[in-house]
């Protein structure tokens, strides 16, 4: 294993320390227990958003802490859920008296630990609502999940719910917007090569030189099938067909088209894939009214990508367009 790291045991804390130092205008890092929150005091009466999960998916989640998006992010060890304690501490740090929304990717460990944290926070007098993101259409149940996995669509939920909180919606309304966004969002991914978890020291799975995995999970969990490598247009057609079918997108509707890199894929390849997906949707009469292309929900240095669609109405579009100022996503106020 060659990596730009020191001791594998220190990767998460050292990375978060660097992140905090590089973005001290936006975030503050707590080291005991470990979480990242917005710089400045919570806004009284404003709903706060807390997300988190295993590390290794950067910029998710800490990269989305800031104005218009998350209030705090709680990173666990690589590919491992954070325990309830730091989640509760983050909740207390960002609560502005209007309650806290947890945005949780659907993995058994995350769901359980955020549930426990919610109970503990409620016992401290903080109202908590939880939205579980489950956008991955590849498989119904998976290695670490009951039901569908939560993958790249999490960014869309965090962005849109963050804008809802920022405009002053109450907790029930922010949770409703987040659930509506999740219900309007589907994703599916493909891997060409696995990433290596530092403390494991070897790639999470192995594919032959001419083989790709359709429907891969963001921890390398099995997808739908392993097939010989194809031109990217054919790969995009497979992913997109599964997503369009599951979401039931029809001609005349508007969508956000999000092509997400898994960490080790050149930008050029993501745009080639975007081009095909946009062409196919347009040919189907679906309007690609918003776009996002880049590494937003990664799997360390995995080579691969995912395609996400969110069906947009006027309200979701306005919330998507609202100003945001985080390390990984910025749009002018």
User: Quick one: DSSP state of residue 221?
Assistant: -
Per-residue DSSP letter, 137: -
Active-site residue, 219 included: yes
The nearest distance, CB 275 to a copy of itself, in angstroms, is 3
Residue 319 token pair = 């919330």
> Which residue lies nearer to a copy of itself by CB, 291 or 315?
291
- Residues 6 or more apart whose Cβ sits within 8 Å of residue 55: 11, 12, 15, 75, 76, 77, 78, 79, 80
Work out how close the CB of 128 gets to a copy of itself at its nearest, in angstroms, rounded to a whole number: 28
CA-based nearest residue to 219, from 9, 57, 11, 3: 57
CB of 239 to a copy of itself, least distance (A): 11
Q: Which is nearer to a copy of itself, 31 or 140 (CB)?
A: 31
What phi and psi, each to the nearest 5 degrees, are found at residue 88?
-65, -45
Binding stretches for a copy of itself (CB under 8 A): 2-7, 11-12, 14-19, 21-23, 55-56, 58-59, 63, 190, 192-193, 195, 209-210, 212, 229, 231-233, 235, 263-276, 278, 288, 291, 293, 295, 298, 300-301, 303-305, 323, 325, 330-333
Taking every pair of Cα atoms in the chain, the longest distance, rounded to a whole number of angstroms, is: 56
Considering beta carbons, is residue 15 or 173 the nearer one to a copy of itself? 15
The answer to whether residue 57 is catalytic is yes
For 276, phi then psi, to 5°, come to: -65, -45
Catalytic residue among 23, 57, 61, 67: 57
**Do 30 and 93 meet the contact criterion of CB atoms below 8 Å apart?**
yes
Least distance from a copy of itself to the Cβ atom of residue 208, Å: 9
Q: Are 284 and 251 in contact (CB under 8 A)?
A: yes
Pick the catalytic residue from 23, 61, 67, 219: 219
Active site residues: 57, 219
């Amino acid at each position: 294993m060659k990596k730009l790291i020191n001791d594998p045991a220190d990767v998460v804390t050292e990375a978060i320390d660097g992140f905090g130092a590089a973005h001290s205008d936006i975030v503050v890092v707590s080291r005991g227990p470990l979480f990242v929150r917005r710089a400045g005091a919570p806004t009284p009466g404003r709903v706060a958003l807390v997300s988190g999960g295993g590390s290794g998916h950067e910029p998710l989640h800490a990269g989305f802490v800031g104005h218009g998006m998350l209030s705090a992010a709680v990173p666990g060890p690589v590919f491992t859920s954070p325990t309830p304690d730091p989640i509760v501490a983050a909740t207390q740090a960002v609560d502005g008296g209007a309650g806290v929304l947890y945005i949780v990717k659907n993995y058994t460990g995350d769901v359980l630990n955020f549930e426990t944290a919610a109970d503990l926070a409620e016992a401290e007098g903080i109202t908590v609502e939880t939205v579980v993101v489950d956008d991955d259409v590849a498989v119904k149940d998976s290695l670490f999940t009951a039901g569908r996995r939560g993958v790249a669509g999490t960014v869309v939920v965090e962005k849109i719910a963050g804008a809802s909180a920022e405009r002053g919606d109450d907790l029930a309304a922010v949770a409703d917007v987040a659930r509506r966004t999740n219900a309007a969002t589907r994703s599916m991914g493909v891997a060409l090569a696995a990433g290596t978890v530092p403390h494991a020291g070897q790639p999470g799975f192995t594919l032959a030189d001419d083989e790709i995995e359709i429907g891969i999970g963001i921890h390398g969990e099995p997808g739908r099938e392993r097939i010989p490598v194809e031109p990217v247009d054919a790969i995009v057609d497979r992913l997109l067909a599964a997503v369009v079918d599951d979401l039931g997108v029809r001609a005349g509707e508007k969508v956000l088209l999000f092509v997400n890199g898994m960490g080790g894929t050149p930008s050029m390849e993501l745009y080639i894939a975007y081009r095909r997906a946009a062409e196919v949707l347009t040919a189907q009469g679906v309007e690609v009214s918003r776009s996002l292309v880049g590494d937003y929900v990664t799997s360390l240095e995995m080579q691969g990508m995912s395609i996400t669609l969110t069906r947009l109405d006027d309200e979701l579009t306005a919330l998507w367009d609202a100003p945001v100022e985080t390390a990984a996503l910025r749009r002018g106020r």
